[in-house]
Amino acid sequence: MSLLLNTTLDNIEPTFNLPLIMAIVWIINKDYAIYTTSPVTIGQYAINWRNRRFQSDLIDEVLRRAQTPEAHIRYQVEGEIYPKDTTEEHMSAEELLERFYKSYANREKSIWFLDSLEAYKKFERDLIDPKQHYHRSGYFVLVYTGLEADRLSNIKEMFRRLFNIYVTNVNVMLMVGKYPYLYTYFPFAPNKCHSSSPGYFASFKGIEKNANFTLGKNLFPTKVENMHGCSLSVITWTYLPYIVVERDEKTGELISLHGIEGSVISLLAERMNFTIKIKEPKAKDRGDIYPNGTATGAAKMILEKEANITIISYLYNKERADVMSASASYLNLPYLLAIPQGRPLTAFQRLIKPFRYIIWSCFTSSFFFAILFIYYIRFLGKSKLMDFIYGQGNRLPFTNLLSTLLGGSVYSQLPYRNFARFLLTVWILYTMVLRTAYSGELFNILQDGKARNNFQKLQEIVERNYTIYAFPAVETVLKFLDPQPSTGTVDSVNSVPVLFEKISNPNTKEKIALCLLEYSIRSYNQRNPSRRVEILPETVVTSPIVFYMPHHSYIRAQTGVLIMQMLQAGIMKRFESIYLYVAWKPQRSQGEPTRLSFHLLLGIFVVYGVLLIFCVLVFLLELSSARVGWLQAVVNFLNL
């Protein structure tokens, strides 16, 4: 029987155990109670009933000393069951246990009593059980109560297994002689990388004699803040504008990592002091996650722990985040549609293009209302009413209406009455704004010889039976849109370059569109000025962009802190401006204006010709009115 178990079980406070108890109480009061608001979990694993009873007595004494009137911390003890409420009466024991762990899933700090390596394996089994809802990024103190001769070997094995499941914030406390000591491991140090070798961390010697005992260091130091040049494997490949992998042509060694996301990883490597080792999957595929737990491409390599990071403009989605750790989002981009360029505007379309249909409708209705009003007053034949509305002596209201519409002057006399002057002022102001806006925009449209009729809404794409190609994660989202479009998957056959080539082909007759991130489409247009694609103005979906790590990765928290600092400093905007210099709204061309060809002005010539024909008809009508009495009366009525 061990020396620790030779103590009287009825009295848990012999001099030998007092430092151990006080050390645990100090950890609770000076660290756990200060740096967390969530309950502290205290549990035990033992290989026999005597060891379990001894651990239970230790836990009881620790709780008795820690639960003072000044303490405001809550504890969750393993095996603690609360009274059932009305919603739990018909639940099984397993359902109750799962509900309990879900209710207290945010377990940041834990203390576990272990007496052997076998006990640790039981603890590890529960730790990795998804139903237990443990957070491996939490902070663990393992109190080792076993006193076997090879206990340091057991601790070494425990650290090795903990490192394999990405638990780094862990300290093991054990009695060495009469005093408790803390051991931990540092995976990254000046002379070692990815190591789980245990090392001495701190001592609680003299704690029972010193009421103001201090440890002199953080109980849980940051272990990945400085990785001392150790390498991390990153799965990625050149994918503009996000990743540019630059290698040495002779050796194939990585020279640098550029691009928007490449710059993010490079900056993280600089701040955390790690070196980047690039791994490329054979198929250069992001990979998919299937319900049975299998995966493909880069996702499979992460699940099999072949790398530490995969970054290639990943859309955040639940399927990936459930089996991998997603980083903090550093970009929030819309998915847009790359579509073929529309057909060129006809000459007549250029004339009506400056205004939308709603503006043309409003203007046309107001113009015809003015004409009807003029002839209605003429039909009434009351000269006083005509003087009041048209102005005294104004017998050409319709001519003045057209003259002011086209920017001309008012014929005959200007109105003197307030109401008539007000009507004239409103009409001149109204037509001046419309005429100026129309003239300016018409000039720009005529200058742009490549003006085209392009789609504006996703509904137009769907109605014309376009097939929208997208990556699988985005294709899933597209299927939930209303109206639901016809979709295709981007794969090795229909790859992004192939689809861009088809869409940008001016002679293409295929009805296809490509759903990609905004920056991807802009980058393509930037690199292919002569074969650009059009961008549908309507956003399909907006999503955060992240990179993925193995589930519970120990670098997730530190990278999250650094990414937030990068966003606050505006560094991401700087990266974007470096690799995307094309403005979202194309600038007006500068320099010598384009010569206006006959084709561009054909519309106005056609309109002019139609009006000339109308003038000839009016001329014939005037000649005929001299011989026909009723026709002359009609012509005189219309002459305003």
- pLDDT recorded at residue 379: 76
- pLDDT recorded at residue 618: 66
- pLDDT recorded at residue 549: 96
Cα–Cα distances in Å, from 639 out to 346, 397, 634?
A: 36, 10, 9
Q: Is 155 exposed, middle or buried (0-12, 13-18, 19+ CB in 10 A)?
A: buried
- pLDDT recorded at residue 301: 95
The one-letter code for the residue type at 151 is: R
Cα–Cα dist 43/134, whole Å? 13
Cα–Cα dist 180/174, whole Å? 5
Please say whether the beta carbons of 39 and 54 come within 8 A: no
- pLDDT recorded at residue 86: 59
- Give which of 105, 226, 215 is closest to 171, Cα–Cα: 215
71, two tokens: 């303490």
- pLDDT recorded at residue 24: 94
User: No. of H helices and E strands in the chain?
Assistant: 22, 21
389, two tokens: 């509305």
Cα–Cα dist 502/513, whole Å? 9
Cα–Cα dist 523/502, whole Å? 17
Pairing of strands 188-189, 40-45: unpaired
Cα–Cα dist 227/168, whole Å? 13
Q: Which residues contact 561 (CB under 8 A, 6 or more apart)?
A: none
DSSP H or E run through 183: strand 179-185
Cα–Cα dist 594/588, whole Å? 12
Cα–Cα dist 106/486, whole Å? 43
Residues in the chain: 640
Cα–Cα distances in Å, from 37 out to 34, 151, 560, 593?
A: 8, 34, 21, 68
- pLDDT recorded at residue 161: 96
**DSSP track, 232-296:** EEEE---BTTTBEEEE-TTT--EEEEESHHHHHHHHHHHHHT-EEEEE--TT-----B-TTS-B-
Q: Which residues contact 206 (CB under 8 A, 6 or more apart)?
A: 179, 213
Within 67-150, residue ranges assigned H as helices are 93-103, 117-127
Cα–Cα dist 157/136, whole Å? 18
- pLDDT recorded at residue 586: 47
Max Cα–Cα distance, the chain, nearest Å: 138
CATH of domain 4-203: 3.40.50
- Give which of 484, 531, 587 is closest to 340, Cα–Cα: 531
Cα–Cα dist 506/26, whole Å? 75
Cα–Cα distances in Å, from 21 out to 1, 58, 551?
A: 21, 7, 35
283, two tokens: 């198929």
Q: Is 162 exposed, middle or buried (0-12, 13-18, 19+ CB in 10 A)?
A: buried
Please say whether the beta carbons of 488 and 469 come within 8 A: yes
Give the chain's residues under pLDDT 50: 1-15, 582, 584-593, 596, 601, 640
- Give which of 141, 142, 140, 136 is closest to 120, Cα–Cα: 142
- pLDDT recorded at residue 590: 44
